[in-house]
Structure 1
């Protein structure tokens, strides 16, 4: 948590104010990333299934490649 606070330019106390422990911080990060992936892979009802699949896979891999 100290390294995270240092890298974020905040105090450890501030990190602990929002996240009581490592598990809660990890949960928040995973929920945020999962939400972003779900938004990026949302199917377009106007496209054929194959195009939606290609779009979703591309968005999925681009998201994690950028991380």
Structure 2
């Protein structure tokens, strides 16, 4: 890719975007927002659960320190 191709690539990307946006309906935007909220919530809850599990396991399995005999 050289600098002479940049305007053509920008025009192609802009044209693709401009032709795609009118075809997206309001219901798709609402569904996407709802799914994003659900995904973020599930991710947050799973992160909290995994932190609790790791904390519980680390309390159970405390590392043993071996003292060297002299």
Is TM-score (shorter-chain normalized) higher than 0.5?
no
User: What is the TM-score of this pair, normalised by structure 1?
Assistant: 0.39
User: What is the TM-score of this pair, normalised by structure 2?
Assistant: 0.38
Structure of higher RCO (CA pairs closer than 8 Å, 6+ residues apart)? 1
